[in-house]
Every structure is written in structure tokens, then in C-alpha cells.
Amino acid sequence: MKKVGAVYAADGRCTFRVWDPLKESMVLKLVSPVEQQLEMQREAHGYFSLELANIDPGTRYFFMPNGEKAFPDPASSFQPEGVHGPSEVVDTGAYLWQDSTWRGLPFQDLVLYELHVGTFTPEGTFEAIIPLLPDLVETGINALELMPVAQFPGDRNWGYDGVYPYAVQDSYGGPLGLKTLVDACHALGIAVFLDVVFNHLGPEGNYLGNFGPFFTNKYKTPWGDALNFDGDWSDGVREYFAGNALFWFEEYHVDGLRLDAIHMVYDNGAVHFWEYTHQQVKLLGQKLGRPLYLTAESDLNSPKVVKDPEMGGYGFDAQWLDDFHHALYVLLDKKGKDRYKDFGKLEQLAKAYKDGFVHSGEYVTFRKRKHGVSSAGVSGEKFVAFNLNHDQVGNRVKGERLSVLVNLDRQKLAAAALLLAPYVPLLFMGEEYGDTAPFYYFISHSDKDLVKAVQQGRKEEFADFGFDIAPPDPVAEQTFQDSKLQWDKRTKGKHHLLLQWHQHLLHLRKQEPILRNFNKNDVLVNLLGNAGLVLHRQSIGGQEHLLCLFNFSEEKTAFNFPVWVENWEKILDSTETQWQEKKGKAVPLPSKVTAGSQMQLPALSVAVYKGQEEIE
């Protein structure tokens, strides 16, 4: 149960609680249905509380530190009038959950699907997503990952400008809408992850600093002063954010959280904040009887992110693997080298498959220093790999997806390279059918000076990357509308073909036990000259083998089948007629080959052959 904010009881009683250790007093200001001001009682460790009877759900209120200016509740569950308006009391027990039999899914079985609620459907709401869930299930997707839904200013935002970590965005449908979506997902066997931000708050409506020492100038972040996780009075800050993680799991039944930029959380205490949060979440998981997952976006290239705290780690279940994206993308798009100057070699993709981190202590030009340590031996389910995500698309000046940057053959290669990898895959909304709508950066701040600062900042950011055109205006309504998916395309032409290709790959991933073996000792990678590589995956025990053959070049290349398996059988071939946009020109690879045979792998193609060693 939430320890701060307005905690409503079914008998009409409500406890209001707020942390502000440096204030002498705190006043609760009720603004509806009847306006009144009530002195709150001081508790230990900097908290103030007040329990009231005859409080109805929907009651709106502010807190007044030292009885002075009124601010919304830092732990508000709902901000129906936006970031500057009053907070609203929510009856958390009013929703009748239907997922009592839901026990979650094993992390290694997940196929994650990142989406932005506002642009995924024309309506831009939680409930509008529900009718599309069966299509995702049919594709083979079993986990939604929602970009941040914590209350942000206005009704258009990526979500990383949130300022009320406990409140569900009003324009998306608020608390009821999110619960309805999670319930519908669980009914269809879909897990739900939320992207949450514990490294900063947005600029507009950020009143957290008015309630005690939430921030410190001891550390600096790209967003200003860091959150205070290790200084004076930091216990309350740690409880506030760790409690927020528990809140999403317990109150909204979510299955996992993706923590944004964890390297921007600074803590030099004996128990790092991430370790503390890990401990709290694992205890809650035991209580609830289902797995609760924490995944991380990290710029550290360090295995300590996913190591258990007992081994000196943070305890995350997995972390995003940016190096895989960079290594693969530069091989698919000739212009990719301009964006990722430290990538472009087949050996780097091979290392991404075998080890994980590509940069593991080498000098990196982009960083002007050595970066990272080796992740060799770290099991594959500890990494989330992807070809696209909100950053990789949205931080391009034109917001281009891979479908706009490369042709269909290269898109098929990208999908296979990801879904045959020994990692947990993540798709970005629309990727499965090659949606061509851009995904721009957009905001709807009301502060005119802030809007100008964001507009100028985006221009300068892209100028630094060498782009000679200006990005679309992030505050313009059209920028947001242009970013909405074109869902109807998934049934048409090459988009439908690409969707079927993803379905086939995901079905293969589900049916082939080898593709669910994440032990890196059972993963080998060999180069095919300068043309491609062979991703060799084998079963536990090593008797069954899959050879995933990738040719990234525009010329055919030779491959000699190993001799230690007598017969090889084809189970995937991107050159078959069914996978061609123009029918009748395909020359499929042989369905069966014998040991030592040589085969010419066509340009820009992928094939998978399966073999089994004879048991003597």
C-alpha cells in the first residue's frame, strides 16, 4: 500500500500523508466539494499526516508547506486538471480485477513491444489499445512496454517530462484506464511493463523541491541538480522512489518496470538506491506470488547492473543492449557509419552476439576515452536487444524508422538478426509491419519560455550531429499527429509480408528449444569473409544445432557446411517465394544438404539450417 499521498479506505476514511522534514507545519487544503484548510500532524522522520472521515473519491486537495503557498500532492494518484491543478483522491479498491489467476511469464520467454500510448492509436488512450491486443498476440508478442505514463504537462509528451511519479496521465485515461488495459492484457496472456523515470523530473509542474530536500547540487545531470539519494535527509527520497516502484506492481498489477538512464542516479552510500529498490521489489514479489521484473537502460557497459547485490551488483533482471543495435544497424544502412562512428565491422556484431557489450574497455572515439568492461559469460536473458526503440527513431531529425532508411530485404535481415539472437527481443510499435510514420519528439508545455528553450535546444542538438535541416517544431500539434501509427498498413503489400515474416520468426523462436537456450557457452559466431556471419546456436548438451546464416553484402557468398553433422535441414529461408515482394524471381536454397557441402548464400539474405549429431 502507498505510504504517502492520499490513501483512501473503503469506509470513507482517507489518510493524507506527505514528507517535508524541514518545514515546521503542513496544512491540507481541501478545494472540493467544500473548501477548507486543516492542520496536519507531525510524525517521525519528517512526515505529516491527517486522517479524515467522510471523504469521497474525487475530493480534490493541495498541501501547504508551513501553511503558505498551495501545491499539488507530490505523491498524487491523479491530476485531472493537469500538473498545476489540485490532486484527486482515488478509491484504489473500487476497480474489480479479473486477473486473479495471472502468475506472470518467465522473463526469458518475453517478446517485448514498446509503445507510446498517445501515438499508438488515433484516440491516444489506454482503452483504445485493447481492441488491437489480439493482433499483437497473433504476431507473437506477449509483453507491452509502455513509455512513461506518469503525469506530464499538457496532453502531448514522450513521458520523460513527468512530474508526478505516482499519478497516471489524465489524457491517457487516468488510473481506471491503465487498470483496464493491464487487466485486458493479462486476460490474453500479455505481460505489462512500464517505463519509469527515477533520475529526474520534468521542468514544468515540478514542485517536488518545495517539499523538502529531494534534490542536491552535489551532483549534476543533463536536467540540472540530481535527486538526493545519499545526502542529508535522503531516506525520505529513497522511500519515495522505491515506494513508487512497489506502487506500480501492487496497485496496477504491472509485471515489470524499465528504469530510465540508471547511470544518472548518484548514490555513494553503503546500500546503493538500486540495490535497495531491488530488495524491496523482491520481497513484494514473494508476497504477491508472481515474478516482478526490473530492467535498466544503462550507459555504463558494466555487468554489475545485472549482477545480484550479493555479488556487488544492482540486481536488475536485464538491461538494454544498445551495442547490439549499433553494430547491426551500421551493417544494414550504409549511412549508419555517420551516426555511429565507432561501429561498422562484422567482428563487432559477432562480439555483440557472443559477449554482449561491444565496447568492453576499448578506446571509443565518440566518448574520447576507453569505455566499458567485458560481459562475456553473462547469460543472454540478462539483455534486451532491439533494432528500434523510441530513442533510435525519435532522436533522428526526421524521426525515420528503419523501414524508411533501408529496403525490405534489409528489414527482413534486421528482424531475423534480432529474433534469432540469444537475447530477449524488443520491438518498437509498428516495426513488425514496417510502419513508415515518423516518431518525432513532441511536447505541449504551457510555459512559453520553456517552449522556446526546448525548440532551441532541439535545433542545437541536431546541429551538433551535423544535420543541415531543422527538426519539426516539437510543440506543434501536427508534429504529434504525424507521429501516430498507420495501423491499417499491416494488411497491405510489403507491410503485410513483413508482418508475416515477423510472425514466422516469432513462431520459430517459440517452437525451437535451441532458440530459448541463452547459455553463451552454446553460442558460436564465425565470419563469412567480409560478407556476413554464421550464428551457431546449439542445444544444452550440444547434440542439436542451428546454423543462422546472414549475408549482409550485395553479393552472394560461399558457405561450407560443417562435417560433424551428417544431414542439415532448412527451416528458414528469406529467398523463398513467400517472402518476396515480387513473386516468380525467387531461387530458394536447397531444403536438405549433407556434411561438407558448399552453398552460395544470396545477397542480403538469411537462412537457418538444423542438424543433429548422431549418437554413437
CATH number of the domain that residue 603 is part of: 2.60.40.1180
Binding positions for substrate are 258-263, 322-326, 390-395
Within a domain: 98:
no
Side-chain-side CA neighbours of residue 613 (13 Å) = 13
The active-site residue out of 230, 297, 435, 522 is 297
What angle (nearest 5°) sits at the alpha carbon of residue 334, between those of residues 329 and 338? Answer: 80
CA distance 131 to 133: 6
187 & 263 share domain: yes
CA distance 375 to 11: 53
**What is the Cα 308 distance to its own chain's centre?**
21
Q: Look at residue 145 in the predicted model and tell me its pLDDT.
A: 98
Mean pLDDT of all residues in 242-263: 98
Within a domain: 101:
no
386 & 324 share domain: yes
Contacts of 321 (CB under 8 A, 6+ apart): 352, 356, 357, 383, 384, 385, 386, 423
Within a domain: 256:
yes
Binding positions are 258-263, 322-326, 390-395
Is the Cβ–Cβ distance between 593 and 524 less than 8 Å? Answer: no
473 & 569 share domain: no
- Check if 123 is active-site: no
- Torsion sign over Cα 517, 322, 393, 408: negative
pLDDT in tens, 299-316: 999 999 999 999 999 999
40 & 185 share domain: no
Q: Look at residue 616 in the predicted model and tell me its pLDDT.
A: 59
566 & 431 share domain: no
Q: Look at residue 585 in the predicted model and tell me its pLDDT.
A: 65
- Per the structure, the complete domain to which residue 225 belongs is given by 110-506
The CATH number of the domain holding residue 477 is 3.20.20.80
pLDDT in tens, 85-139: 999 999 988 999 999 999 999 999 999 999 999 999 999 999 999 999 999 999 9
CA distance 372 to 370: 7
Q: Which three cell numbers stand for residue 21?
A: 522534514
Task: Specify the number of domains making up the chain.
Answer: 3
Q: Look at residue 454 in the predicted model and tell me its pLDDT.
A: 86
Is the Cβ–Cβ distance between 241 and 273 less than 8 Å? Answer: yes
First CA to last CA distance, the chain? 60
pLDDT band at 615 (very low <50, low <70, confident <90, very high): low
CA distance 36 to 234: 32
Question: What residue spans of 99-201 are helical by DSSP H?
Answer: 117-120, 126-129, 133-139, 174-187
pLDDT in tens, 423-443: 999 999 999 999 999 999 999
- Check if 73 is active-site: no
Of residues 482 and 453, more confidence is placed in 482
Q: Look at residue 584 in the predicted model and tell me its pLDDT.
A: 65
**Chain mean pLDDT for the chain:** 95
Closest CA to 278 of 246, 321, 240: 246
Q: Is the pLDDT of residue 460 over 80?
A: no
537 & 497 share domain: no
120 & 83 share domain: no
**What is the Cα 530 distance to its own chain's centre?**
33
Using CA atoms, how far residue 387 sits from 91, 186, 322, 468, in Å, is 41, 26, 9, 25
480 & 536 share domain: no
482 & 539 share domain: no
pLDDT band at 471 (very low <50, low <70, confident <90, very high): confident
Within a domain: 71:
yes
Is the Cβ–Cβ distance between 303 and 325 less than 8 Å? Answer: no
Within a domain: 95:
no
pLDDT band at 461 (very low <50, low <70, confident <90, very high): confident
250 & 268 share domain: yes
178 & 74 share domain: no
The active-site residue out of 145, 183, 195, 260 is 260
Within a domain: 96:
no
501 & 567 share domain: no
Edge-to-edge strands of the sheet including 87-88? 36-39, 26-32, 60-65, 87-88
Within a domain: 102:
no
Using CA atoms, how far residue 306 sits from 186, 298, 314, 320, in Å, is 27, 10, 6, 11
The CATH number of the domain holding residue 20 is 2.60.40.10
Residue 113 bridge partners (DSSP): 144, 427
Within a domain: 473:
yes
Residue 261: how many CB atoms within 10 A of its CB? 18
Number of DSSP helices (H) and strands (E) in the chain, helices first: 15, 30
pLDDT in tens, 20-65: 999 999 999 999 888 999 999 999 999 999 999 999 999 999 999 9
The three-state secondary structure class of 109 is: helix
Q: Which of 506, 533, 566 is the last residue of a domain?
A: 506
Q: Is the pLDDT of residue 163 over 80?
A: yes
